[in-house]
Chains A and B, each alone.
Chain A
Amino acid sequence: MTGRAAAIALTLLVWSSAGQTGTVRLDDTLTHTVPANVQMQWRPFVRGERDAGMEAWVRVNVRIDTREWMGRSGQVYLVLDSDDTSAMEAEWTTEGRLLAGRIRSGERTLVYSGTLTTATLDDQLVMRLRSLSDWRGSTRRLNFHFEFDTP
């Protein structure tokens, strides 16, 4: 009876880490933006457009802890949570470790595909943020995170 319990324990522990499949949220605690707070600027008017909106630029120093997933293959996505006000669009370039791309509020975009071979995924993004002007207030907080899809 004790032996059976041990077998169950082993199964559960494996499931909790490297054996897990599906989508997991990655630890990106060490990722930060420069500056931490940013002021949007009006975009120039474009003839024929109702609202040119506003934009801002930030640098994102990405560090994702992938120790638990080393040796696993899959896809890493950047997720931008919806914040129930006007849609925000983020477009970025990278230094090559991650993929450049674009995302809108409530969506996710592929930034890495393949086997995770290192304990961290590091890169620096130069990100442009754009939105229309129909905010509900004058300030808002954008929440990003990374997800890992494993087959």
Chain B
Amino acid sequence: MPAALRHVLTLTAAALASALPALDAHAWSLSITSATRRVFLHVGDGTLNGSNGTINRVEVTVPASQLGNGVAQAMTSNSGQSRSLYGDNYTTCPDPANQVMIGASYRRNNNSAPATATLSVTAPVTLTNASGDTIPFSEISWTVSAAGSPSPNVIRAGTFTTGSQTLATVPANTYIENCHSFRYANTAIRAAGTYNGRVTYTLSNP
């Protein structure tokens, strides 16, 4: 009986060893790397996920009869961007001659990356003509709209101020866009000339 018991134990061990190869078969595995953290911004004419060097221009010529009368003058745009770069090609800005579309997105690849990105605009103190005459940039403001959007003011309306001002916070993995229509306040009579100035929009993520 003791001899038989030894056999049974030995053979049991052998049976388990035979089963092990199936249990230990290697799984096939795949190492994957997340898409990289990314911010995207277009102001006016843009290319989705690409670089577009266009710098659009908004302008107004104030009629002599209305110079400095305090009646705001709508500014026109040379932007042709009417369709969204969101991915569905929606006509968000149906009147691009009077609108500048701004779109921004922030994509993060894991939960430890910052939760938001910040959209801001920086303006100089003045617009300047060839003679050195100036107009305060605060004479220019904008309204916002977005056809078909439940949140047309996702990027806020405002007035340019010297330096940087925040326009929107972009949550991770979202895309925001709307259309900006600019106007000149026309609060004072200025020396004749063409006044130029450039504002810069920035989308940043620490």
Residues of A within 8 A of B (CB): 1-2, 4-5, 8-9, 12-13, 15-17, 20, 24-29, 31-33, 36-42, 44-47, 50-52, 54, 56, 58, 60, 65, 68, 81, 129, 133-145
Contact = CB atoms under 8 A, between A and B. Distances in A.
B7 A9 contact: yes
B34 to A, nearest CB: 5
A51 B34 CA distance: 14
A5 B34 contact: no
Contact of B35 (A32, A36, A40, A145): A40
A69 to B, nearest CB: 9
Given A45-B105, A54-B34, A143 B27 contact: yes
For the residues of A in contact with B, the DSSP-based class is mixed
Contact of A135 (B4, B14, B109): B109
Given A5-B7, A68-B22, A143-B27, A13 B14 contact: yes
A141 to B, nearest CB: 5
A31 B172 contact: no
Interface residues of B, number: 43
B57 to A, nearest CB: 28
Nearest to A80: B27
Interface stretch (B85-93, B125-133, B151-159): B85-93
Contacts of B65: none
A28 B18 CA distance: 17
Contacts of A8: 7-8, 11
A25 to B, nearest CB: 5
A68 B18 CA distance: 11
Nearest to A48: B88
